[in-house]
Amino acid sequence: MYFSQANIVTDSVKAVAETAKKTDTSWIMHHVLDAREIDLSPFGIIHLPEIHLFGFDISLTKHVVFMWIAMLILIVTFRFVAKSYKKSLIPKGVTNLTETLILFVRDDIAKPTIGKGYEKFLPYLLTVFFFILTCNFLGLLPYGSTATGNISVTATLATISFFVIQIGGIWKNGFFGYFKGLLPHGIPTWLIPIMFVVELLGLFTKPFALAIRLFANMTAGHIVILALLGLIFILHTYIVVPVSIAFALFIFLLEILVALIQAYIFTMLSSLFIGMAVHQEH
């Protein structure tokens, strides 16, 4: 009887282990997180070189590779657009699309939120918009990877925006004038130390919100798509195939819209914060 009970327990443990193995979802994070190889299954895996300099690990990762690809795409595209204007002043094709996006950033983002003097910040806003947009779309391609789904990338972009905001505010209002302008006009004297700390903390929460919003939105969509497709293999039934594929396709189409919206939101908020810093209320 004891041997029979032991066999039952053993069989139960094996069954649980098999179930855990079948329902393992670590493969989802494998596709979302950064890695030191590019998975091109079933064609193979490209292992990226490890680089160590002065004790620091600066090895290449797939997100770095796709950021380089985004950079090359933008360089080639804008060189092509610049040359096309030398041949004809009437934009066509890619040139027309690029001009439309540039005018959109200028007229619907920079001008309304920054106002006078927006021209000085327009190159940065255009760079951020097109870089994020390209990285977002690269993540939707087969074997692609979304660099903007990496918190290190979004935090770096947000940090650059933070310095642009502060430099713009100090350049326009002066060092002491800028920090003095953080305080609301007409507040009681005893509230000044408290409000100054609150406003100072607010300077850092803005880039933090920029980084988290972009990272979370670009990561969430991919996780949902992979989870829906994973239901087919987890449940081991053909019944869920049409439902999983239909919903995954819907989320994928939604991700195309999200890629555009997130590039717009990051650029718009950066421009808005620059405008608030440059044109302070006194």
For 161-199, how does the pLDDT look when each residue is reduced to its tens digit (9 = 90+)? 999 999 998 988 888 888 777 777 777 777 778 888 888
Mean pLDDT value of segment 256-276:
93
Q: ∠ CA(120), CA(92), CA(68), 5° rounding?
A: 55
Q: Could you give the 3-state DSSP secondary structure of residue 52?
A: strand
Lowest mean pLDDT among 41-45, 77-81, 107-111, 131-135: 41-45
Helices (H) and strands (E) in the chain, counts: 10, 4
How many domains in the chain? 1
- Asked, for residue 86, whether it belongs to a domain, the answer is yes
Residue with tokens 């797939």: 62
Q: Is the pLDDT reported for residue 22 higher than 80?
A: no
Q: Residue 70's domain spans which residues?
A: 64-278
- Asked, for residue 14, whether it belongs to a domain, the answer is no
- Asked, for residue 48, whether it belongs to a domain, the answer is no
- Global pTM? 0.84
Q: Is residue 45 within a helix (H) or strand (E), and if so which, with residue range?
A: strand 45-47
- Asked, for residue 240, whether it belongs to a domain, the answer is yes
- Asked, for residue 213, whether it belongs to a domain, the answer is yes
Confidence of residue 20 (pLDDT cuts 50, 70, 90): very low
The two tokens of residue 174 are: 């002066």
Closest listed residue to residue 147, CA positions, set 168, 131, 170: 131
Confidence of residue 5 (pLDDT cuts 50, 70, 90): very low
Q: What is the per-residue pLDDT across 26-36, written as a single tens digit (0 to 9) for each?
A: 767 767 778 88
- Asked, for residue 39, whether it belongs to a domain, the answer is no
- Asked, for residue 6, whether it belongs to a domain, the answer is no
Residues 6+ apart with CB under 8 A from 132: 148, 157, 214, 262, 263, 266, 267
- Asked, for residue 73, whether it belongs to a domain, the answer is yes
Residues 6+ apart with CB under 8 A from 105: 122, 125, 126, 129, 267
Q: Is residue 66 a contact partner of residue 136, using CB atoms and an 8 Å limit?
A: no
Chain-centroid distance, C-alpha 53:
28
